[in-house]
Amino acid sequence: MNPGFTISDDPARLDIALIHRFLSEDSHWARGIPRATVERAIAHSLNFGAFDDATGAQLGYARVVSDRATFAWLADVFVLPAARGRGIGAALVRAVDAHPDLQGLRRRVLATRTAAPLYARHGWVPLAAPEIYMERSDPQVYQRAASPLSNGDTP
């Protein structure tokens, strides 16, 4: 049975404007992200798009940051609201899992507030030792990047 969509890792097919719009306006994890930041993230990641077979329009997205040898971080996974319920999110996760450049990795990580059940169906589990993980977080970085003074000028 044809699901009516195709998953591709061809970066030329990506609708950068759509990805930026979703991440900057609709996501809870990247709200306000500048387009230049999205473009740089895409350029340095392995990207997966879900595309409608009839129209070619992009329906979803996922990206992986990886050294393609030992580690990968799955990020920015989304399906447009109008396309949800068709198995697109699960298909994106399966495509990531099956990608030849992501085989034999020692560790894969992701962070999610809302989709843990989806990932659990694909073998993801909570961190075994969260106490060994650390982070450096800057939640206001996108707001500073958008500021007219972000180029180093002073008032």
Structural domain total, the chain: 1
Please tell me the distance from the alpha carbon of residue 64 to that of residue 8, in angstroms, as a whole number: 13
Provide the edge-to-edge strand list for the sheet that holds 58-66: 5-8, 46-52, 58-66, 71-79, 107-110
Residue 153 lies in a domain: no
Residue 38 lies in a domain: yes
Give residue 25's pLDDT: 97
Residue pLDDT tens, the chain, 155 long? 568 999 999 999 999 999 999 999 999 999 999 999 999 999 999 999 999 999 999 999 999 999 999 999 999 999 999 999 999 999 999 999 999 999 999 999 999 999 999 999 999 999 999 999 999 999 888 888 766 654 544 44
Residue showing tokens 């040898």: 69
Give residue 143's pLDDT: 83
Q: Which stretches within 44-86 are classed as H helix?
A: none
Instruction: Find the CATH number of the domain harbouring 116.
Output: 3.40.630.30
Query: Quick check: 143 and 33 in contact, CB under 8 A?
Result: no
Residue 110 lies in a domain: yes
Nearest CA-CA partner of 112 in 99, 93, 97:
93
Domain that holds residue 34: 5-146
Residue 137 lies in a domain: yes
Residue 151 lies in a domain: no
Phi-psi bin for 32: left (phi > 0), alpha (psi -120 to 50), beta? left
Residue 72 lies in a domain: yes
What would you report as the CA-atom Rg of the chain, rounded to the nearest whole angstrom?
17
**pTM above 0.85?**
yes
Residue 54 lies in a domain: yes
